[in-house]
């Protein structure tokens, strides 16, 4: 076995699963139930099983289904972390993905939980994470922010039907600062990714129109 | 051994090494000397050797040093390719990097060659590449173009000292279309990454000033 471990690295995936809770960007953490780093909080992750998985993305989907009982459409690869020292079990590779969960699904994740899970604030994180997961999380946030800063709408984080105020709050939660409402609305007008519906919901002052995402919107 | 192959995937790296030859963006190809796909052209690549490499980036550096006798400062990870069917030897993972070689070093690579190598035009490629390397190349080009389109200067492709016309030609080679000279010059004025020298070289009409890259310029 030692010989195999020297020849073949341990291959796993880690997932930074983001959502928005109480208008703040959060990431899902799992408390490690096994050594190494038992009891530490970590990004959900798991080992590649070549006989089960058709790709590393499939590994990530399987891990999320196993650990938090959710099936997600959107996964984005961020970077690989590799080397002899990042895991005490030996030379290892972790492929980091980020994923986005609609904000109306965050309670279900905690309800369905199989292991101890928690939504952690990403702006002021209070926990040191296991392995190199603090670094991984930082890079995943950076990639997500860069995409949203480049005017891509994070529609994966919204419920099926949403108002423009909800959308603005999600964008603000990711960027970490408030946006000017009228220039944000102007930006949205040129987007082909959101579609008006006939519905209206009661708003702060007047009824707010309800929108939905175009199928196959770009992200 | 069969059992190991099922449990442990084959892990390798592939590198899209770009440079500019005769004002056109080129990528370095290596003719495969071994099965599988012997005789086919491929991106340079090689298998992770955990006892030699401290990371997958180190694998990529070692492979380039072995195959084309070059030592490169700049490597950028693009994406992983994985699955049971992409390599006939079994479940495999390839981590794709791109790298940039200064245009005054392209002859040296061919001179130093250990295997059969060629610089292929990326705009009108004539060859089908081994494995999924045609897809890999396409994505690497896309990533490089997106970076340059977002106003990052590809200074890794230039000699130590260069003129602004040389820089413009390199940017044009990457983007695949000509740029307006005066607006390109205005853009350069706001860049902190290039530094004037006292040197001038003979230009088409009048002497052209020579520039160099700031140390640790961003890319």
**Is A56 within 8 Å of chain B by CB?**
yes
For B97, the enclosing helix (H) or strand (E) is strand B92-100
Taking CB atoms and an 8 Å limit, are B77 and A77 in contact across chains?
Answer: no
Check whether B55 has a pLDDT greater than 80: yes
Give the pLDDT mean for A184-199: 92
pLDDT tens for each residue of A61-100: 999 988 877 877 789 999 999 999 998 889 999 999 999 9
Reported ipTM: the value is 0.85
Beta carbons within 8 Å of A130's beta carbon, 6+ residues apart: A32, A36, A37, A40, A41, A42
pLDDT class of A219 with cuts at 50, 70, 90: confident
Distance from CA of A47 to the nearest CA of B (A): 11
Q: What is the pLDDT of residue A203?
A: 75
- Mean per-residue pLDDT, B151-161: 93
Residue with tokens 């069969």: B2
Which among B82, B66, B31 is positioned nearest to B58, based on CA atoms?
B66
Nearest Cβ partner of A56 from B4, B48, B82?
B82
- Tell me what pLDDT residue A66 has: 86
Q: Closest Cα of chain A to B5: distance in Å?
A: 9
- CB-based contact B114:B67 (threshold 8 Å): yes
Scan for tokens 């970490």, then name that residue: A176
Residue ranges and CATH numbers for the domains of chain A are 2-149 (3.90.79.10), 155-213 (1.10.10.10)
pLDDT in tens, B79-121: 999 999 998 889 999 999 999 999 998 888 777 666 788 899 9
- Of B56, B61, B148, give the one whose Cα is nearest residue B94: B56
- Whole-number average pLDDT of chain B: 90
Interatomic CA distance for residues B59 and B53, integer angstroms: 6
Distance (Å) from the alpha carbon of B2 to chain A's nearest alpha carbon: 12
Say if the Cβ atoms of B55 and A82 lie within 8 Å. yes
Residue A15 pLDDT grade (very low, low, confident, very high; cuts 50, 70, 90)? very high
Name the residue with higher pLDDT: B64 or B125.
B64
- Compute how many other C-beta atoms are within 10 angstroms of the C-beta atom of residue A201: 13
Which among A4, A55, A80 has CB closest to B8?
A: A4
Better pLDDT: B73 or A92 = A92
When CB atoms are compared, the residue of A11, A57, A90 closest to B9 is: A11
Taking CB atoms and an 8 Å cutoff, what residues of chain B touch A79? 77
Q: Please report the pLDDT score of residue B109 as a whole number.
A: 79
Shortest distance, CA A54 to any CA of chain B (angstroms): 5
Total CB pairs under 8 A between chain A and B: 59
Cβ of A11 and B11 within 8 Å?
Answer: yes
Alpha carbon of residue B188 to chain centroid: 23
Work out the pLDDT band at B3, boundaries 50, 70, 90: very low
Residue of A3, A49, A50 to mutate, testing the B interface (most B Cβ within 10 Å of its Cβ): A50
- Nearest-angstrom CA–CA distance, B58 and A179: 42
10 Å Cβ neighbour count for B199? 13
Is residue B47 very low, low, confident or very high in pLDDT (cuts 50, 70, 90)? very high
Q: What tokens were used for A37? A: 């780093």
The sign of the CA dihedral A139, A145, A150, A156 is positive
3-class secondary-structure state, position A211: strand
Taken in order B48, B51, B54, B59, the sign of the CA dihedral is negative
Confidence at B2, pLDDT banded by 50, 70, 90:
very low
The tens digit of pLDDT for each residue in A163-188 reads 999 999 999 999 999 999 999 999 89
Q: Residue A6 pLDDT more than 70? A: no
Taking CA–CA distances from A82, the nearest residue in chain B reads B55
B4 CB near a chain A CB, below 8 Å?
yes
Say if A82 is an interface residue toward chain B (CB within 8 Å).
yes
pLDDT of residue B172: 96
Cβ–Cβ of A50/B7 closer than 8 Å? Answer: yes
Query: Rounded to the nearest 5°, which phi and psi values hold at A35?
Result: -70, 155
Residue B1 has pLDDT above 60, yes or no: no
- Check CB contact of A47 with chain B, cutoff 8 Å: no
On whether the CB atoms of residues A130 and A86 are closer than 8 A, the answer is: no
* Predicted pLDDT of residue A176: 92
Residues of B in contact with A82 (CB under 8 A): 55-57
- Nearest Cα of chain B lies from the Cα of A62 at a distance, in angstroms, of 15
CA B3 to chain centre: 36
Residue A3 has pLDDT above 60, yes or no: no
**Alpha-helix runs per DSSP H in B69-198:** 106-111, 133-149, 164-175, 181-189
Neighbour tally for B174: CB within 10 Å = 21
User: So what's the pLDDT on residue B71?
Assistant: 78
Find the CB nearest A54 among B4, B8, B83: B83
Cβ of residue B77 closer than 8 Å to a chain A Cβ: yes
Given A4, A8, A79, which is nearest B77 (Cβ)? Answer: A79
Task: Band the pLDDT of A2: cuts 50, 70, 90.
Answer: very low
Mean pLDDT of B150-169: 93
Query: B203 or A142: whose pLDDT is higher?
Result: A142
How is residue A128 annotated by DSSP? P
pLDDT in tens, A102-154: 999 888 877 766 678 889 999 777 788 999 999 999 999 999 999 998 888 99
Predicted confidence (pLDDT) at residue B13 exceeds the cutoff of 80: yes
Q: Which of the 8 DSSP states describes residue A36?
A: S
B10: closest CA of chain A, how far (Å): 8
Q: What distance in Å separates the CA atoms of residue B217 and residue B87, rounded to the nearest whole number? A: 38
CB contacts, 8 Å: B89 with chain A: none
Angle, vertex CA B100, rays to CA B37 and CA B193, nearest 5: 165
Q: Is B95 touching A (CB cutoff 8 A)? A: yes
């Amino acid at each position: 076995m030692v010989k195999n471990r020297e020849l073949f690295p341990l291959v796993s995936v880690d997932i930074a699963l983001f959502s928005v809770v109480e208008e703040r960007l959060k990431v899902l953490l799992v408390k490690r139930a096994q050594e190494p780093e038992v009891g530490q909080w970590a990004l959900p992750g798991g080992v590649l099983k070549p006989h089960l998985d058709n790709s590393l993305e499939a590994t990530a989907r399987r891990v999320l289904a196993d650990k938090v009982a959710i099936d997600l459409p959107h996964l984005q690869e961020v970077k690989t972390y590799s080397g002899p020292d990042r895991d005490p079990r030996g030379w290892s590779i972790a492929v980091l993905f980020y994923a986005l969960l609609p904000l109306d699904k965050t309670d279900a994740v905690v309800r369905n939980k199989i292991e101890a899970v928690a939504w952690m604030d990403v702006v002021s994180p209070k926990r040191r994470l296991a392995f190199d997961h603090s670094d991984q999380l930082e890079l995943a946030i950076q990639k997500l922010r860069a995409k949203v800063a480049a005017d891509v709408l994070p529609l994966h984080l919204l419920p099926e039907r949403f108002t423009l105020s909800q959308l603005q709050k999600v964008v603000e939660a990711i960027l970490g600062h408030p946006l000017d409402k009228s220039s944000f609305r102007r930006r949205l007008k040129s987007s082909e990714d959101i579609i008006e519906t006939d519905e209206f919901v009661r708003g702060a002052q007047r009824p707010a129109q309800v929108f939905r995402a175009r199928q196959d919107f770009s992200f």
